[in-house]
Amino acid sequence: MKLDGLAAVVTGGASGLGEATVRMLAENGVKVTIFDVDEKRGTGLAREVGGQYAAVDVTDQDSIQRGFEQAGHGHGVARILVNCAGVAPVGRVVDKSGKPHDMHLFRKAIEINLIGTFNVLSEFASRLGSAELLGEERGVVVNTASVAAYDGQIGQCAYAASKGGIVALTLPAARDLSKHQIRVMTIAPGIFITPMLTGLPQAAQDSLGQQVPHPSRLGKPDEYSSLVKAIVENPMLNGEVIRLDGAIRMTPR
């Protein structure tokens, strides 16, 4: 699909990989609606790029529906969905004091990362299914997993399980939505410069970057967004997960 003139929704679009994606889409003539719980950052970014912001909690079905209604009212039917909303809780199966994992944290990771992704994807597809074809397709979904889905480290059980679920749903979702001519792809980023990482000391960030074989540094958010662009524009990319990681394979810790 050609980007110019289309409408898109980006969850978690107020910061990090989502923000980079919002900026890339807007620069290419896309009308972007930002779904996020951070109203201050979301409204500010929307104003900056000429898009719109919708206060959406991806774990709340009513919130998602209201968000899509707002998006459609302002920009028309969304043809592109990029799911970037997510959290990265840390917790061992059994902590150092012998206590079991906090199940609230585990459920939160699954609710936001996995169920939230599917919730938004399903609502997006239901609204797009009757739209006219643009050439040979109606739209495309790009989900965000993580290399933790494959190489989860100690303390990442909740995060890795949630991202592994996104990897697993990619192919069946693409097959399911093929009758509607909607593609589904997933990106599994490695270690990227996001708000989750920028809070670490610079020495720690440099150390993480040096673990990447090549290029030996942290990934840049615009490298994620450039892959989103390539996916949207290439109709044969469907039902697959692309690792975007500089060939890193995470160690146990």
Per this entry, what is the length of the chain?
A: 253
Residue 100 DSSP symbol: B
Which tokens in the block code for residue 232?
């949207």
Catalytic residue among 53, 150, 159, 224: 159
Which tokens in the block code for residue 104?
């609230």
Q: Which helix (H) or strand (E) holds 211?
A: none
SS3 144: strand
CB neighbours of residue 35 within 10 Å: 31
Exposure letters 144-171 (e unless 16+ CB within 10 A, then b): bbbbbbbbbeebbbbbbbbbbbbbebbe
At 17, which amino acid appears? L
Residue 53 known to be catalytic: no
Q: 155's torsion region: left (phi>0), alpha (psi -120 to 50) or beta?
A: left
Helix axes 157-177, 116-128, angle to 10 degrees: 20
- Check if the beta carbon of residue 117 is closer than 8 Å to that of residue 83: yes
Q: Which residues are catalytic?
A: 159
